[in-house]
Amino acid sequence: MATNMQKSTAVLLIHCPDKQGLLALVTEFINKNNGNVLYLDQHVDRQEKLFYMRVEWDLEDFEIPKNKIADYFTTLIAHKNEMTFEIHFSEEKPRMAIFVSKISHCLYDLLARYTAGEWNVEIPFIISNHPDMAEVAERFGIDYHIFPINKSNKDELEPKEIALLKEHKIDFIVLARYMQIISDEFITHFPNRIINIHHSFLPAFVGAKPYHAAHERGVKIIGATSHYVTTELDAGPIIKQEVTHISHKDTVTDLIRKGRDLEKIVLSKAVSKHIDRKLLVYNNRTVVFS
C-alpha cells in the first residue's frame, strides 16, 4: 500500500478482546467524523479471541482536531471495549538509531535507503562498539558514537548510551549486525522497539556462529530472521524471515556470503514495516499488516 506522503493522515493500531461489531464501531467513528479511510487491515485470532486492526485515514476534512483524537477515541470506543491502541500521524517522523559493530552490508543497505528517501524516518546517529564503521557513517554524513562496550564495562556504559538515545528522542533502534548482547535493563527502555537481524532461520541455530552450525548440520537452506529483541536471546517476536537454497558445495565462507544478501533485505523489510506502523506484538508473535 503506497500512501500519498503529502497528505496528512492518522494511523490507528488497535488490539482488544474480540467481540461482534468492533470493525463497524471503529470505521463508523472515522466515517461519521468525515474521515476518508485510505487503508484498513484487520485480523481476528479466533483461538485466542483477540481482535487486531490497523486503519489509516485522511485528516483533511476530519472533524476532530488532531490533538483530541486520542481523547475522543478513548472515551467513545477504546475504554468501553478494553482496547489498547496507538495513534500516529504522518507528520511525525520516527527517529531511529543504528547499532553496528564491524560488518558493513546491513549498514550500507539501511543508509542507502535512508539517503534515497525510501523511508519516512530520521537517523540522527549510529552507535558502535568499534571504530571500524566510522568511515561509512562519514560517507553518509551521519554522526558516529563509539561506546566500546564489553561484558566488564556494560553496566557503566549502557546508561550513557540510554541517556544519549533519550536526549535525541530516539523512538527505535536497529541492530545492524551488532555483536554485543544488550542488557535486560536496556531492553526495558525500548520494549518492542529494538529490531535485530539474526543470521539463521530462527528458531534453528540460536546464538553465535549460525552459519557454522548450519554447515555442520548439513541443511539445504539457510535463512535470516529479523525480530524484536527481548530478554531471551534470539527468542523475541519474529517480524520477517527469508531463506535461500544451498548445496553440499557451499563452504562456511559461501554461506556467510550468500547470507549477507538475505540479512540486509530481511532487516530492511522489517525496518520498513516498523516505520510504517504496520506491526503489532502479542504473545511474543507479530501481526504484520499488509
Residues with catalytic function? 234
Radius of gyration for the chain, computed over Cα atoms and rounded to the nearest angstrom: 21
**Residue 84 within binding range of its own copies, rule CB under 8 A:** no
Report the C-alpha gap between 218 and 3 in whole angstroms: 44
**Residue 146 within binding range of its own copies, rule CB under 8 A:** no
Report the C-alpha gap between 196 and 90 in whole angstroms: 25
Which of 42-50, 70-78, 86-94, 183-191 is the region at the interface with its own copies (rule: CB under 8 A)? 42-50
Report the C-alpha gap between 228 and 230 in whole angstroms: 6
* Cis preceding linkage at 237, omega within 30: no
Which three cell numbers, joined as nine digits, stand for 44? 481476528
DSSP state of 177: S
**Residue 211 within binding range of its own copies, rule CB under 8 A:** no
Q: Which of 7, 134, 140, 145 binds its own copies (CB under 8 A)?
A: 140
What is the identity of the amino acid at 91?
E
Report the C-alpha gap between 156 and 161 in whole angstroms: 10
Site for its own copies in 215-244 (CB under 8 A): 217-221, 223, 237-243
Q: Which of 62, 147, 186, 205 binds its own copies (CB under 8 A)?
A: 205
Residue ranges binding its own copies (CB under 8 A): 1-2, 20-21, 23-24, 27-28, 31, 36-38, 40, 42-43, 45-47, 52, 104-105, 108-109, 112-113, 115-116, 118, 139-140, 201-205, 217-221, 223, 237-243, 245, 247-249, 251, 253-254, 257, 261, 265, 268-269, 283-288, 290
